Amino acid sequence: MELIYLLLLLILSVLVLSVLFLLYQTRSPKAMEGIPGSLGWPIVGESFSFLSDFSSPSGIFSFMNKRQKRYGKVFKSFVLGRFTVFMTGREASKILLTGKDGIVSLNLFYTGQQVLGPTSLLQTTGEAHKRLRRLIGEPLSIDGLKKYFHFINTQAMQTLDQWEGRKVLVLEEASTFTLKVIGHMIMSLEPSGEEQEKFRSNFKIISSSFASLPFKLPGTAFHRGIKARDRMYEMLDSTILRRRSGQDFQQDFLGSLVMKHSKEDGKEDENKLTDKQLKDNILTLLVAGHDTTTAALTWLIKFLDENPIVLEQLREEHRQIVASRKGGTDLTWAEVNNLPYTVKVISETLRRATILPWFSRKASQDFEIDGYKIKKGWSINLDVVSIHHDPEVFPDPEKFDPSRFDEPLRPFCFLGFGSGPRMCPGMNLAKLEICVFIHHLVNRYIWRPLEKENFVQPTLVRMPKNKYPIIVEAQ
């Protein structure tokens, strides 16, 4: 049976490569001849160089920088099966991220489109996107997050209770922490137990399927991702049914949407969501919020170790909070929302690591940038790494320096949470999780890395390849 699947996979691979080869020969090269750059080898293009550079310590910046020096801020390439125009700079950022007049739309890979579903916030455009964002945005506002603060604080302390005196893979621990938080927020999942394990298991399979080949054959990562998505939806269906019947009322994200904004499929009401929209967008928030926050927390801990002056200044901010409290009291909501230096450290982490190294868009109409004509239907990637490492905006860009954020930056120079109408809706949640976790970490522990490797995982979200192993000791 496995041999048959392998043969089918091989046949499909040959067919896909043949189609790509025909496309390569007959379509985009001619259309893109006015754009500088190289399309590389037939069929594979520059994919090998792209993936090799993407995994290096400097990441995609190496790939971009070499071509920008040769071709300028706008150049073409053929990577990962796509004819793509890469752009960088503040002007490109403004055009692509504001999406003014519907000039561009989001451009997910096929596997992401299939897993997240057609009603996902990441796949809607125009008025439909604005409406969805409005309906799901309230529970993620600062006021909406207040009720989850105690749970986040407790989970951070319980996670760190297990760190002392042992080897810790920061990326894995951060992943577990953020997933427990978002599972509780969305559907009041307990931090341990059978339901939590099912939730975590399915989510990990879904997350790993996004960069897979689009072959929906049994045994492939894409097929496993679709099946895990279906199991996740069964969990959500069961929970929604209980909430509607009054058996399991909870003041969580799902409960808020079910009470205020849900409707039965088939009934029209622009202020309500169908069950399909509920499930697609809960999964979207899971996928969009988990990996990025996990990566940010891991990079921040790494950068703190490498920059002891920054660590000491941050530690002092958190020591002052403890010193000003009455004995026996714990971190409060007011305290966690008054950490100016910590917020700057988070911003500098997002700049320096650039966790989402590019934003992918598709031209919805013809337009022009830097004198180059972009055609409707073209894939366009905004190179965020080069924007974050522009020495004219960020002098000595390789240096980790939170003081860069002492004064407000010009719009579209810093894209840690994106910008424009698609700015990350979970931005406040990510900051809250990181601030709480870092507060307890720097007040309790010192740590040292066990490896100096700086390579990154070849995934859509930049994460340390070695998961950043450390040894932790009490202060």
* Residue set of the binding site for heme: 424
* CA–CA gap between residue 41 and residue 118 (Å, rounded): 34
Strand 82-87 versus strand 379-383 pairing type: parallel
What is the identity of the amino acid at 344?
K
In 3D, which of 185, 189, 199 has the Cα closest to residue 252? 185
71 C-beta neighbours (distance < 10 Å), count: 16
Element (H, E) at 308: helix 308-324
Largest CA distance in the chain: 74
* CA–CA gap between residue 275 and residue 279 (Å, rounded): 6
What are the φ/ψ torsions at residue 227 (nearest 5 degrees)?
-65, -40
Annotated binding site: 424
* CA–CA gap between residue 406 and residue 276 (Å, rounded): 44
Structure tokens at 365: 């109409």
Angle, alpha carbons 216-222-227 (nearest 5°) = 85
Asked if 334 contacts 37 with a C-beta cutoff of 8 angstroms, the reply is no
Name the E strands within 297-420.
358-363, 367-369, 372-374, 379-383
Per residue in 179-203, is it b (16+ CB within 10 Å) or e — as a string?
bbbbbbbbbbbebeeeebeebbebb
* CA–CA gap between residue 421 and residue 367 (Å, rounded): 20
34 C-beta neighbours (distance < 10 Å), count: 11
In 3D, which of 59, 55, 50 has the Cα closest to residue 357? 59
Strand 104-106 versus strand 358-363 pairing type: antiparallel
In 3D, which of 149, 203, 155, 154 has the Cα closest to residue 178? 155
Element (H, E) at 83: strand 82-87
Name the E strands within 243-371.
358-363, 367-369
User: If you search the block for the tokens 């790509």, which residue do you land on?
Assistant: 20
Is 466 in a helix, a strand, or coil? coil
> Taking the mean position of all CA atoms in its chain, how far away is CA 68?
25
Residue 473 forms beta bridges with which residues?
Answer: 446
